Amino acid sequence: MSLTNVAVVGFGYWGPNLVRNLCELDNCRVKTVCDAQASRLNTVRRRYPSIEATQDWRDLLSDPEIDAIAIATPVSTHYPLAKAALLAGKHVLIEKPMACSSEHCEELIDLGKRQGKIVLVDHTFVYTGAVRKIKELIRSGEMGQIVYFDSVRVNLGLFQHDVDVMWDLAPHDLSIMIHLLEKTPVAVRAVGLTLPELKHTSIAYLAFEFDDAVIGHVHVNWFAPVKIRQTLLAGTRKMIVYDDNDPSEKVKLYDKGIKLATREDIYQTLVQYRMGDMSSPKLDQTEALLTECRHFIECIQGRCEPESGGELGLQVVRVLEAASESLRSLGQRVEVKGRMLSAGAAA
Amino acid sequence: MSLTNVAVVGFGYWGPNLVRNLCELDNCRVKTVCDAQASRLNTVRRRYPSIEATQDWRDLLSDPEIDAIAIATPVSTHYPLAKAALLAGKHVLIEKPMACSSEHCEELIDLGKRQGKIVLVDHTFVYTGAVRKIKELIRSGEMGQIVYFDSVRVNLGLFQHDVDVMWDLAPHDLSIMIHLLEKTPVAVRAVGLTLPELKHTSIAYLAFEFDDAVIGHVHVNWFAPVKIRQTLLAGTRKMIVYDDNDPSEKVKLYDKGIKLATREDIYQTLVQYRMGDMSSPKLDQTEALLTECRHFIECIQGRCEPESGGELGLQVVRVLEAASESLRSLGQRVEVKGRMLSAGAAA
Amino acid sequence: MSLTNVAVVGFGYWGPNLVRNLCELDNCRVKTVCDAQASRLNTVRRRYPSIEATQDWRDLLSDPEIDAIAIATPVSTHYPLAKAALLAGKHVLIEKPMACSSEHCEELIDLGKRQGKIVLVDHTFVYTGAVRKIKELIRSGEMGQIVYFDSVRVNLGLFQHDVDVMWDLAPHDLSIMIHLLEKTPVAVRAVGLTLPELKHTSIAYLAFEFDDAVIGHVHVNWFAPVKIRQTLLAGTRKMIVYDDNDPSEKVKLYDKGIKLATREDIYQTLVQYRMGDMSSPKLDQTEALLTECRHFIECIQGRCEPESGGELGLQVVRVLEAASESLRSLGQRVEVKGRMLSAGAAA
Amino acid sequence: MSLTNVAVVGFGYWGPNLVRNLCELDNCRVKTVCDAQASRLNTVRRRYPSIEATQDWRDLLSDPEIDAIAIATPVSTHYPLAKAALLAGKHVLIEKPMACSSEHCEELIDLGKRQGKIVLVDHTFVYTGAVRKIKELIRSGEMGQIVYFDSVRVNLGLFQHDVDVMWDLAPHDLSIMIHLLEKTPVAVRAVGLTLPELKHTSIAYLAFEFDDAVIGHVHVNWFAPVKIRQTLLAGTRKMIVYDDNDPSEKVKLYDKGIKLATREDIYQTLVQYRMGDMSSPKLDQTEALLTECRHFIECIQGRCEPESGGELGLQVVRVLEAASESLRSLGQRVEVKGRMLSAGAAA
């Protein structure tokens, strides 16, 4: 088994999770961690004495032993860091969102292709047992035609300085939605609220149109007293509630729906409910980031294609761009630019 | 104590609840129940042998003993029934929504004033222990300035023939929102979905602007696998989660918020969370409809003014009209017409 | 369809529910309600003007039109009232527990047989959709061999004057346990607590032995801050959680268990878990008391045998007697007297 | 700040948590990890390259640099390992339960005193924000007199080879109970069940008497489909529900109780409920094991006395011994031997 050497840039909130999971892999070695703050590097040295710690990210580029760089820095630095890494011949794993603009995403995708290097975007939820099981249920046809996707992701906290709540939280919901529905919305309307004295939008509602009858909706909120992570997904035959907070039964599949009947004596159509059993499938309990890190290394070692590659990262950013434009115009309908993701190309 | 004679028109879904609660009052007698379906009248006769049962609602108008009529019929009949009742000199309690158009609401309000009769709209939630406690908490100033109102009301069911999901479910959220915030939204954007083969919108998202920084949002849905009745209400000092499904702790008050700090060495404002205790106040457990029925009789007997009078009913309908127009235009911003409710005049 | 005339004695906490449900049946008429308190009879007259109201229960015995008497009075009066009713040729429905002593229960059973009259004990839970579904799951063999029955029934409230918490609450758990397991415990140990200044035990733990390896345990408590109604039932193949407080998914069936494996290289047996899906079956939503009342009338009219007849009532009382004796001896093992219920004779 | 060198023996289930938390402390260095299994030591080397790894625990005793040894090995080895460590002049942190017999616990306590070394037992729950807050609420007198302690700790899993479910799970509940009530039960009754083909008791109910009116009860179960970690604690004035599974509101304090009233016209005492608000205090979110590890180092460095010292460990083992004897006699009352813990000496 070959060994891939990885460096991690950024040891703030998410970086430590990347390092911890990469360290669990047999075919991977975390060679270097880079962060601008010396105190964080001290933590690295205490926890992982064998890992090199540096404040200068150019050390990573010039180290010929490093095969890949995982980028867990503020969003605005994703593009320059990833570009430099690719140009230096490194594979990249980029924290979500992929970049601040779709142009930058496209450039990174192209550069990855030209350099023959893997570009993986860290849309972690795609690798959860829950989302993988839901995708399986949709693909099997068991749910019928999907009718809507509704997601609520609220809690108190983690007000970001560099991005608003949409760019911070909605990438999770958008990556899940695009991955599950296997298509990108054609248009979005977004409204929101900036709290007094703050500069970024802290609460936002995003409503999506698709090129068919499906609708999508995402509510992201940094200013809520409780943590809610709940997605409703309705098909014409079955419906799902995906509650990421539920420790034991995250996915519940309801055999519920409506059936139409026509009573002959009257002209109107009768809507009746069909109420059946609920079941909660057993899910793979592996930490999603471990699955993702393993997948990243396997892509690098040539054994598979990224499930959350640059294309998914790009679609998410395109939707965010459209949502931002809509938010600025107080909810005007804004089309998502660029070609839509064709079915089956969700990676 | 004087005795008020009441008739109830409509013995379908809600009418039996009205009859049951009115029968509990000492100062009220249910004299007659009217319904077009003979089978329902048989149920009335079996349960309440002393109540007269009729298929002809004109019997109610011509009965001089009947002081008031409670109207629990399909929405389209509210206006003609209430108008006839008022003209016949009866007080009216009208099922929500008050009427199909704001013009009809205005006409009924005026007619009520001219006839000197009470017009009460059955916005039951206004009378719940939960909403009354929340109103008390807002009024006390304990929550600070209210920042947003977010309500989700979804379940599988009760597809109506005469109205869509907005006109069916949103009156609850709108009456609660207008009652608590003591103001009407100035504009609304609504998007939704009509399920295949059905004629009415079954899922809708309504986003509200107010004349200040507050925002409101309501998600109503007839096609969801689970019943959710949850409202988030955030103030600058405290926040509330109101979960109507929770049997014992419907209202939770969170001593949480943010505080802004400026670190001198850097230019940026720091957002920090303030996490304190949660408390769940004891609520009045009286069935809201009983409180409302008692209030209706007290208004008739001259002891108070309606808390959910025609004006609240009108505001709700005006918002619904604007929402319907927005829905037809796929989410265009539509202003709520008519003068706004001034603070303190929520009734 | 013949019409059975029923009288209800006792219009306190449970009596109104009996009257309300009996009134829903087409083949039954509530002719008379009897209660010693005049104010309660006023409530009867207001709600049900056609029902006769009396303070003297002997009026019921002497009324030849009355076919059956439902007894919802304090426990100590069950035996004399039921005996008098049976002697007067009336069928009886007796509130739980059936009587204060097993001798009285036996006498009522015998008297019922001699008089050819139905004796039904109001063990309402036996008629719930949840318990019926669980019984079906056990009988199908899907759960494997039942290993234990554990039930917790606690809340703040309803301190009774005439009985302790065991005689008040445990009849529910005991009737469910005996009905589901189709056998009566052979011995019981009970410990408990009497709150300062109160005369009755308010908290009790009952541990049961059966004639095989199964164990049972019941925790009943009047002095708890929250309402818990939860039963765990484990089989060798599947397990059930029955949460009576859950509005939508009362019964959850877990495809979980253990499997034993023997590793050859070491001598010890390995225990591994088997973790599978969970499913929550759709339940009949009919109010259990309505099902029971309908069943009572059908038994009277000769169409079936009581599912919760005197025999089940007797077994419950025998277990309570043994538990009371154990409680007095601070937890000594006390055998349940009398012959055990044989499988299939749970009614 | 002085630096304490610690070794950890046992890198199975709990050892990795000890190492991870000890590594977070500034005044502590994990010098060596010892485990009999080579594969586990490989994991140590990969995660913590600077930590020495050995299969021979005698290496720890002979290393003069090592000040303290944390013992996370099977229960039967606690006594010999701790004894050897103390004799070698090392402080010890011993995984719960402290030892297999109270004689061994007493010997270790004495040895610790003679050697002047710290003996800390890893009763982690004592260091949780939840238990510390509950202790504070009890001590403040706010709850009134404590009436009962009821704890349920069930789930599917982790069948141990060397101990039964009581010795595995109940130490948590017993340490919490003794720590909170500041006294040891005087007697216990235990009943349980050994699953077919297994050798250890998998389900047990323990009922405790104290030298006053308080009662305690613990239900531990390895064979349940769901994870329940719920403690009810009732005082004469307020009551607590402590749900360790609740991610955000583990401790709920209910202002509920009963009040006694005497109606003059009748002889009987009336019990009424007092229903007030519920509040959920903010808890310290620090990982309990980190608090405990920090405390252990501070005890070693002479700044405080163990909160969960050998005395608490001994009391827990004495209760377990009595419970085991009771279990063997099918529930006979067994007195807890040795002097009782005097109030305030819970450490």
Structure confidence at residue C263 (pLDDT) = 53
| Mean pLDDT calculated for residue range C243-264 | 83
Of these ranges, A90-94, A220-224, A260-264, the one predicted with the greatest mean pLDDT is A90-94
Could you tell me the fold of the domain covering B4-123+289-305?
Rossmann fold (3.40.50)
- Give CATH for domain A4-125+289-309: 3.40.50.720
Backbone angle region of D89, left / alpha / beta, with phi > 0 → left and psi within -120 to 50 → alpha: left
Q: Can you say whether the dihedral through the CA atoms of D16, D19, D21, D24 is positive or negative?
A: negative
Identify the DSSP state of A268: S
CA angle (D168 as vertex; D163, D169 as ends), nearest 5: 155
- Chain D: give the shortest CA distance to residue B196, in Å: 39
**Chain A residues with CB inside 8 Å of D226's CB?**
248
- Cα separation, B200 vs D278, in Å, equals 42
Structure confidence at residue C280 (pLDDT) = 94
Summary mean pLDDT of chain A:
92
- Chain D: give the shortest CA distance to residue B249, in Å: 8
Of all residues in chain A, the one with the smallest CA distance to D20 is A47
Superfamily of the domain at C127-284+314-335: Dihydrodipicolinate Reductase; domain 2 (3.30.360.10)
**Chain D residues with CB inside 8 Å of A248's CB?**
226-227
Record the tokens describing residue D208, joined without a space. 């405790």
Phi/psi for A149 (5° steps) reads: -130, 120
- Chain B: give the shortest CA distance to residue A243, in Å: 12
- Cα separation, D168 vs D100, in Å, equals 11
Interface test with B, best of C47, C51, C290 (most B CBs within 10 A): C47
**Chain D residues with CB inside 8 Å of B273's CB?**
none
Say if CB B101 and CB B338 are below 8 A apart.
Answer: no
What does the H/E/C string look like for D228-287? EEEEEEEECCCEEEEECCCCCCCEEEEEEEEEEEECCCCCCEEEEEEEEEEEECCCCCCC
Separation in Å, CA C138 to CA A128, B97, C322: 35, 48, 27
| Mean pLDDT calculated for residue range D133-157 | 95
Lowest mean pLDDT among A36-50, A204-218, C170-184, D12-26: A36-50
Lowest mean pLDDT among A51-55, A217-221, D153-157: D153-157
D25 CB-near residues (< 8 Å, 6+ apart): D290, D293, D294, D297
The chains in contact with chain C, meaning 3 or more Cβ pairs closer than 8 Å, are: A, B, D
Say if CB D131 and CB D149 are below 8 A apart.
Answer: no
Structure confidence at residue B48 (pLDDT) = 85
Structure confidence at residue B347 (pLDDT) = 42
Inspect the interface and report whether the beta carbons of B279 and D279 lie closer than 8 Å: yes
Please state which of the four CATH numbers 3.40.190.120, 3.30.1490.190, 3.30.360.10, 3.40.50.850 is assigned to the domain occupying D126-282+314-335.
3.30.360.10
Of all residues in chain A, the one with the smallest CA distance to D249 is A226
> How many beta-carbon contacts under 8 Å exist across B and C?
22
Inspect the interface and report whether the beta carbons of C277 and A281 lie closer than 8 Å: yes
Tokens 């613990």, residue? D218
Inspect the interface and report whether the beta carbons of D147 and C193 lie closer than 8 Å: yes
Label residue A263 by pLDDT band (50, 70, 90): low
Phi/psi for C253 (5° steps) reads: -110, 120
- Chain B: give the shortest CA distance to residue D278, in Å: 5
- Chain B: give the shortest CA distance to residue D277, in Å: 4
| Mean pLDDT calculated for residue range D52-79 | 96
Structure confidence at residue B344 (pLDDT) = 43
Select from B180, B234, B255 the least CA-distant residue to A196: B234
Inspect the interface and report whether the beta carbons of D277 and B278 lie closer than 8 Å: no
- Cα separation, D189 vs D171, in Å, equals 16
Summary mean pLDDT of chain D:
92
**Chain C residues with CB inside 8 Å of D203's CB?**
148, 215
Record the tokens describing residue B25, joined without a space. 């009052």
Locate the domains of chain A by residue range. Answer: 4-125+289-309, 128-284+314-335
- Chain C: give the shortest CA distance to residue D256, in Å: 7
Q: What is the pTM of this model?
A: 0.90
**Chain B residues with CB inside 8 Å of C247's CB?**
227, 245, 247
Answer whether D4-124+289-305 and D126-282+314-335 agree in fold: no
Q: Can you say whether the dihedral through the CA atoms of D317, D319, D325, D327 is positive or negative?
A: negative
Residues of B with CB under 8 A from a CB of D: 249, 275-282
Give tens-digit pLDDT for D13-41.
899 999 999 998 999 999 999 999 999 99
Inspect the interface and report whether the beta carbons of B247 and C226 lie closer than 8 Å: no
Nearest CB partner across the interface for A23, out of D46, D226, D248: D46
Give tens-digit pLDDT for D197-224.
788 899 999 999 999 989 999 999 999 9
Give tens-digit pLDDT for A317-347.
999 999 999 999 999 999 998 755 544 444 4
Structure confidence at residue B289 (pLDDT) = 97
Interface test with C, best of D188, D258, D272, D326 (most C CBs within 10 A): D258
Tokens 């008692």, residue? B294
Is a pLDDT exceeding 60 seen at residue D105? yes
| Mean pLDDT calculated for residue range C171-180 | 98
Say if CB D307 and CB D295 are below 8 A apart.
Answer: yes
Q: In what helix (H) or strand (E) does residue D122 lie, and over which residues does it extend?
A: strand D119-122
Structure confidence at residue B46 (pLDDT) = 81
B293 CB-near residues (< 8 Å, 6+ apart): B18, B21, B22, B24, B25, B28, B93
Select from A343, A339, A344 the least CA-distant residue to A102: A339
Say if CB C275 and CB C256 are below 8 A apart.
Answer: yes
Give tens-digit pLDDT for D281-337.
999 999 999 999 999 999 999 989 999 999 999 999 999 999 999 999 999 999 998
Structure confidence at residue C213 (pLDDT) = 86
Nearest CB partner across the interface for A49, out of D49, D227, D248: D49
Inspect the interface and report whether the beta carbons of B281 and D277 lie closer than 8 Å: yes
Burial B296-335 (b: 16+ CB within 10 A, else e): bbbbbbeeeebbbbbbbbbbbbbbbbbbbebbeeebbbbe
**Chain D residues with CB inside 8 Å of A47's CB?**
23, 48
**Chain B residues with CB inside 8 Å of D281's CB?**
277
**Second-level CATH architecture of A128-284+314-335:** 2-Layer Sandwich (3.30)
Residue type, C257: G
The chains in contact with chain A, meaning 3 or more Cβ pairs closer than 8 Å, are: B, C, D
Nearest CB partner across the interface for C282, out of A276, A280, A282: A276
Give tens-digit pLDDT for C96-107.
999 999 999 999
Inspect the interface and report whether the beta carbons of B205 and A203 lie closer than 8 Å: no
- Cα separation, A127 vs A298, in Å, equals 14
- Chain B: give the shortest CA distance to residue D134, in Å: 14
Interface test with B, best of A37, A137, A149, A156 (most B CBs within 10 A): A156
Is a pLDDT exceeding 50 seen at residue C344? no
**Chain C residues with CB inside 8 Å of D148's CB?**
193, 203, 223
CA angle (B191 as vertex; B190, B195 as ends), nearest 5: 135
Please state which of the four CATH numbers 3.40.50.720, 3.40.50.10470, 3.40.50.300, 3.30.10.20 is assigned to the domain occupying C4-125+289-308.
3.40.50.720
Nearest CB partner across the interface for A23, out of D47, D226, D248: D47
Nearest CB partner across the interface for C49, out of B46, B50, B227: B50
Give tens-digit pLDDT for D239-296.
999 999 998 899 999 998 877 665 544 445 556 677 789 999 999 999 999 999 999 9
Record the tokens describing residue B217, joined without a space. 């949002």
Inspect the interface and report whether the beta carbons of A48 and D46 lie closer than 8 Å: no
- Cα separation, B252 vs B118, in Å, equals 35
Structure confidence at residue A119 (pLDDT) = 98
Give tens-digit pLDDT for C257-316.
877 665 544 445 566 777 789 999 999 999 999 999 999 999 999 989 999 999 999 999
Inspect the interface and report whether the beta carbons of B280 and D277 lie closer than 8 Å: yes
Phi/psi for B151 (5° steps) reads: -130, 135
- Cα separation, A305 vs A301, in Å, equals 10
**Chain B residues with CB inside 8 Å of C46's CB?**
23
Q: In what helix (H) or strand (E) does residue D174 lie, and over which residues does it extend?
A: helix D165-181
Select from D59, D56, D105 the least CA-distant residue to D82: D105
Structure confidence at residue B168 (pLDDT) = 94
Give tens-digit pLDDT for A231-242.
999 999 999 999
**Chain A residues with CB inside 8 Å of B199's CB?**
269
Inspect the interface and report whether the beta carbons of C47 and B23 lie closer than 8 Å: yes
Nearest CB partner across the interface for A277, out of C275, C276, C279: C279
Nearest CB partner across the interface for A227, out of D23, D245, D248: D248
Give, in words, the CATH class of B126-283+314-335.
Answer: alpha beta
Structure confidence at residue B173 (pLDDT) = 98
Q: Can you say whether the dihedral through the CA atoms of A318, A320, A323, A325 is positive or negative?
A: negative
> How many beta-carbon contacts under 8 Å exist across C and D?
130
Tokens 């039942």, residue? C146
Nearest CB partner across the interface for B282, out of D277, D281, D282: D277
Number of H helices, E strands in chain A: 9, 15
- Cα separation, A259 vs A247, in Å, equals 33
Give SS3 for B334.
strand
Summary mean pLDDT of chain B:
92
- Give CATH for domain D4-124+289-305: 3.40.50.720
Record the tokens describing residue C163, joined without a space. 């009985």
Beta strand pairing call for A215-221 and A146-156: parallel
Say if CB C96 and CB C171 are below 8 A apart.
Answer: yes
Lowest mean pLDDT among A36-45, B87-96, C157-166: C157-166
CA angle (D136 as vertex; D133, D139 as ends), nearest 5: 155
Give SS3 for A305.
coil
Separation in Å, CA A208 to CA A97, A190, A318: 19, 9, 13
Q: pLDDT by residue for chain B (347 residues), tens digit each? A: 689 999 999 999 899 999 999 998 999 999 999 999 999 999 998 888 889 999 999 999 999 999 999 999 999 999 999 999 999 999 999 999 999 999 999 999 999 999 999 999 999 999 999 999 999 999 999 999 999 999 999 998 766 678 899 999 999 999 999 999 999 999 999 999 998 778 889 999 999 999 998 999 999 999 999 999 999 999 999 999 999 999 889 999 999 887 766 554 444 555 667 778 899 999 999 999 999 999 999 999 998 999 999 999 999 999 999 999 999 999 999 999 885 554 444 44
Lowest mean pLDDT among A179-183, C87-91, C338-342: C338-342
Number of H helices, E strands in chain B: 9, 15
Give SS3 for C164.
coil
Structure confidence at residue D266 (pLDDT) = 45
Label residue A50 by pLDDT band (50, 70, 90): confident
> How many beta-carbon contacts under 8 Å exist across A and C?
22
Inspect the interface and report whether the beta carbons of D232 and C154 lie closer than 8 Å: yes
Q: Is the ipTM of this complex over 0.90?
A: yes
Inspect the interface and report whether the beta carbons of D278 and B279 lie closer than 8 Å: yes
Is a pLDDT exceeding 50 seen at residue C347? no
Alpha helix ranges (H) inside C6-101: 15-23, 38-47, 58-62, 78-87
Identify the DSSP state of A248: S
Select from C65, C54, C96, C17 the least CA-distant residue to C315: C96
- Cα separation, D164 vs D169, in Å, equals 9
- Cα separation, C60 vs C78, in Å, equals 15
